[in-house]
Structure 1
Amino acid sequence: MVLLTLAMLTALFLVFCINIGRGDFPLSIPQVIDVLLGGGSRIDRFIVIDLRLPRSLTGILVGMALGMSGAVTQSIARNSLASPDILGITAGASAAAVALIVLGGGGTFVGLLATLGLPLAALIGGVATAMIIYALAWKRGVEGFRLILVGIAINAMLTAAIGWLLISAEINDVSRAQLWLNGSLNGADWSTVWPVLVAIVTVGGFALVSTFTLGALRLGDDNARSLGVRLQHGQASLLLAAVALAAIATAAAGPIGFVALAAPQIALRILRTPGPPILASALMGGLLVVGSDLIARTVLPVELPVGIVTSALGGPFLLYLLVRSNRKVSA
């Protein structure tokens, strides 16, 4: 398992270097590595450090945040279909962010969001949505299937709210919001990198050290209690961590679909673990986002937002999970 994790880390680093090197001024992988180690010419350092590195770093960190968020959510719900974008948490973060973009400073509440900024607005929206979903899904505990059904319903309502905001807004605000809703790394700079990095170190670190609690929660409520886990405290704190990771990732790059769903399941199948592994899910999430950004920029005839590529790749994977779940139920 350690060797497979190292292989995923190596693959992520290679795709990261390739993504930095591709562009109007191409650089080879050795040139990129030389610059990252402090060498290279002045023009190479400017291209890598100032122009391309923030975009690729943002892609890695956003992917890692989404991968960890999906792994935690799927472990708590004990369902492979549970993820922040399916459950409506991403839609809640998006709705708050779109309200901030579209409504601007009108009204006391929205004016407060404007002073807090887009990341905190998305975080507030994601946390509020998660609390509503958790409360509605609660019935002497949280059962995975009920959590998913409530999340799908909330997701539909929030999607409708976003549509209403876009219809009632001015055309300039609509174009800004629509660009953000596609999920893009085009505007990433160093100011985008730091909030996601802080979230990965703090919130992601908490998720990593809570691996035992997650493993116990996968066994069911009764088994988790017998292992000494404080059930409600463990579920609530880990769900809050998943929401924070998803909301900050959404604020940094917009809603990048299906990464939180697919990354934990792909990592689980590669490592053959009983449940979604946190660290491997983070690495796989980073690999999916940076790889999709590479495809969006260089392979396709027209450059597209990375969220469109991840959705195109994630849709068939969701169908695969649905078919596989139906076969299990039939068997």
Structure 2
Amino acid sequence: MRLALYGRPRFVMVVLLAIIVAVFFISLNSGSITISPLEVLRTLIGRGDEQQELVLFQFRLPRMIIALLIGFGLAVSGVILQGLSRNALADPGIMGINAGAGLAVVLFMYLVFESKDVQGLSTMTIPFFAFCGAIITAFLIFMFAWKKGITPIRLILVGIAVAAGIGAVNTILSLKLAGENFMYATIWLTGSLWGTSWTFVIAILPWILILVPYAIMKARYLNVLNLGDTIATGVGVCVELERLKLILASAGLAGACVAAGGGIGFIGLMAPHIARRLVGPKHQVLIPTATLVGALLLLTADLIARNILVRAEIPVGIVISIIGAPYFLYLLMKTKT
């Protein structure tokens, strides 16, 4: 029985990791400048020409690593929110945390860079404001959802309402930006990995390295909270405090990911659900599996986004939305409530 419980998750994670490695190398080969697998390997060990080194080390590698990190972060953020709300339809995008992070950045653009070129904005400034926006939004959701405690259904309904309101404000502010800044904000809010660099990797990496292991450490609390507040309180869990800690962890992950990749949606919805079907609901194995599924989804979506059109690149957020919207409707139709 022990082998059946732990053998399957381990096998699933090994298979997912192998697929990620394969897609990663395919992504390094693909793009407007094609580099063969052999040339990729030669370049990685320092034996490629200058153009190949520039393409791989300055453009493709940081972009691929950013895709992996964002996939990790959004997937874990989604697992936490679905665990707290006990609802498979919860997601940092649907609940407004992504929108809150985006609003903070767009508001900063509007107030400080309204008549200037935002392309010169410090790479470290965007993550800071996105993170602040996500945390503030999480506090607002928690505050509005509080009514002698927090119920899961109230939490998700308040999140959806906050997301709608923030989305409207985002649209208004984006329309007031100057021409080039409007285009930048629009593409960024849609979700795009274009223009990422090693600076963005450095900016997002600490949040992933701290908050993903923290979520795994809190897996047993998520397991207990899934049984209901009464049972969780009965076994000695401080329900509201743990719920607040986990919401803040989810918001921190979502804010860091939005800072690096914009408003990429549906990863936090799809990755936990797929992982749950693969390894079951136990969060000790669900969270690591979801991180791999999220990374694979975003890496594959980015590969499609860069190669679906010959002379142009579409934002990766659009590709994810094309996949995610039908998947969301499918989950909605299967939901019994």
Gaps of 5+ in 2: 1-8, 115-120
Residue type at the aligned position of 1:281: A
| Cα separation, 2, equivalents of 1:68 and 1:235 | 15
The answer on whether the counterparts of 2:42 and 2:48 sit within 8 Å (CA) in structure 1 is: no
- The CA deviation string for residues 55-109 of structure 1, in whole angstroms up to 9 with x for no partner, is 1111110111100100111111111111111111111111111111222268xxx
| Aligned residue type for 1:252 | A
Moved more, 158-167 or 57-66: 158-167
User: C-alpha separation between the residues in 1 aligned to 2:302 and 2:168?
Assistant: 28
Q: What amino acid sits opposite 2:10 in the alignment?
A: V
The one of 298, 303, 306 equivalent to 1:297 is 306
- CA–CA separation in structure 1 for the residues paired with 2:123 and 2:265: 28
CA contact (8 A) 1:17 1:33 kept: no
Corresponding residue for residue 322 of structure 2: 312
SS at match of 2:193: coil
Q: 1:178 is aligned with what amino acid?
A: T
Q: Corresponding residue for 1:324?
A: 334
Q: Report Cα offsets for 1:178-201 as digits up to 9, x if no partner.
A: 121121111100001112211110
2-structure distance, mates of 1:115, 1:310: 24
Structure 2: how far apart are the matches of 1:18 and 1:198?
27
**1:22-37 mapped onto 2 (5 Å cutoff):** 22-29=30-37, 31-33=39-41, 35-36=43-44
Alignment of 1:69-80 (within 5 A): 69-80=77-88
1:31 shift after superposition: 4.6
In the alignment of these two chains, the number of paired residues is 320
**Which residue identity is paired with 1:264?**
P
Tell me how far 1:156 sits from its aligned partner: 1.1
Deviates more, 1:63-72 or 1:97-106: 97-106
Structure 1 unpaired stretches of 5+: 107-112
**How has the CA–CA distance of structure 1 residues 31 and 210 changed in structure 2, closer, same or farther, with 3 Å as cutoff?**
farther
Is the partner of 1:87 in helix, strand or coil?
A: coil
TM norm structure 1: 0.91
Distance 2:333 2:94 in 1: 17
Which of residues 275, 280, 295 in structure 1 aligns to 2:289? 280
The CA distance in 1 between the partners of 2:145 and 2:21, in whole Å, is 40
Once residues 180 and 263 of structure 1 are traced to their aligned partners in structure 2, the CA distance between those partners, rounded to angstroms, is: 22
The separation in 2 between residues aligned to 1:163 and 1:46, in whole angstroms, is 37
C-alpha offsets along residues 124-151 of structure 1, whole Å, 9 cap, x if unaligned? 1111111111111122332222112111
Q: What is the aligned-residue RMSD (CA, Å)?
A: 2.1
Matches within 5 A, 1:232-247: 232-247=240-255
Is contact 1:91-1:158 (8 Å) kept?
yes
In structure 2, what is the Cα distance between the partners aligned to 1:198 and 1:99? 25
- Deviation sequence 1:283-330 (CA, Å, 0-9, x none): 1111111100101111345420100100111000000110000xx34x
DSSP-derived class of the 1:86 partner: coil
Letter in 2 for 1:215: N
Q: Distance in 2 between matches of 1:16 and 1:266?
A: 20
CA positional deviation for 1:267: 1.0
Conserved? CA contact 1:100–1:114, under 8 Å? no
Query: How far apart, CA to CA, are the structure 2 residues paired with 1:51 and 1:92?
Result: 29
Aligned to 1:255: 263
Q: Is the 8 A contact 1:102 1:177 kept in 2?
A: no
Alignment of 1:149-164 (within 5 A): 149-164=157-172
| Partners of 2:54 and 2:313 in 1: CA distance | 23
